[in-house]
């Protein structure tokens, strides 16, 4: 597929292959891996607008960044327009020029609280949230799904409302809320939204190979794509699109583990990197036995040593 920059407000990305936000994964070191592999834009894990307002320590940890990181979008969720605007103005979001509003999360806890994909059923409120957030002076983008169920697809109309309220870019996951992450991606719905608005549209869903990405762009006419779950198994998947050189898997683990420990601490790193290495060994010979060993590791050093054995052929 042809790479090109995407204009978002007054910013321009280096290319049109983005890393989608992933709750529990897209922390600072993980995003840096994606950026080094060529991702055009990375997004933080989603954070609660009310959590920001009340100074949640966990929320602050999710937003860790440094001046070394290229422009990143911070994703927030909530359903109260005023709280959402205050979140955009919060000091914790000062390093992030782009604020992405989550209107697609399908998780019951979020949905039942009227947030995430529940906003698809309340487009008037969704509009108010976007227009209020725009007042903060931040570049506002929206990520949403094509509907809550297949019986009521709202993509085109919702896209018009979000763009009309001031969103500078839309990312559309081509599945309904009830499908979560399974089933076919609805190319026609994304294509209809793309034709209906003048702001850039990023297509999301079902990209695990460069061929998947090319098909998604060709079928939808979208300005770019956002890769989600595939990044958990391979943060260097962007190399397939950009031609950036790959690190060996062991060197990737070594860098990620040390950087995660540096910024997020030993305890978090042990648990997080056990999970990450388990993703990275998927499909390898003896993966099940190595995965069992990983979850007995109690320090980052033990995780790294186990990874050294797993990826011995790459060290």
Encoding tokens for residue 238?
């962007």
Encoding tokens for residue 167?
């969103």
- Other C-beta atoms closer than 10 Å to the C-beta of 157 total 13
Q: In whole angstroms, what is the distance from residue 170 CA to residue 164 CA? A: 12
State the catalytic residue, choosing from 34, 88, 105, 297: 105
- To the query of whether residue 42 is one of the catalytic residues in this protein, the response is no
Catalytic residues: 105
């Amino acid at each position: 597929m042809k790479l090109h920059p995407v204009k978002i407000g007054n910013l321009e990305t280096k290319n049109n292959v983005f890393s989608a936000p992933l709750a529990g994964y897209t922390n600072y070191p993980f995003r840096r891996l994606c950026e080094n592999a060529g991702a055009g834009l990375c997004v933080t894990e989603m954070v609660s607008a009310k959590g920001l307002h009340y100074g949640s320590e966990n929320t602050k940890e999710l937003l860790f960044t440094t001046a070394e990181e290229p422009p990143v979008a911070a994703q927030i969720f909530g359903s109260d327009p005023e709280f959402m605007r205050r979140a955009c103005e919060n000091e914790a979001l000062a390093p992030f020029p782009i604020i992405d509003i989550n209107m697609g999360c399908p998780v019951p806890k979020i949905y039942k609280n009227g947030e995430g994909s529940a906003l698809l059923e309340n487009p008037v409120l969704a509009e108010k949230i976007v227009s209020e957030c725009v007042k903060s002076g931040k570049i506002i983008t929206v990520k949403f799904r094509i509907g809550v169920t297949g019986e009521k697809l709202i993509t085109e109309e919702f896209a018009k409302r979000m763009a009309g309220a001031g969103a500078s870019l839309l990312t559309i996951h081509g599945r309904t809320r009830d499908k979560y992450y399974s089933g076919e991606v609805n190319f026609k719905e994304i294509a209809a939204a793309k034709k209906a608005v003048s702001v850039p549209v990023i297509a999301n869903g079902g990209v695990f190979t460069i061929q998947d990405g090319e098909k998604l762009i060709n079928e939808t006419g979208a300005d770019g794509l956002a890769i989600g779950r595939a990044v958990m198994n391979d943060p260097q998947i962007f190399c397939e699109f950009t031609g950036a050189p790959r690190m060996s898997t062991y060197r990737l683990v070594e860098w990620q583990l040390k950087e995660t420990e540096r910024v997020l601490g030993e305890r978090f790193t042990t648990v997080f990197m056990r999970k990450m290495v388990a993703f990275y060994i998927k499909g390898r010979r003896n993966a099940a036995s190595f995965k069992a060993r990983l979850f007995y590791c109690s320090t980052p050093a033990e995780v790294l040593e186990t990874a050294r054995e797993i990826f011995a052929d790459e060290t």
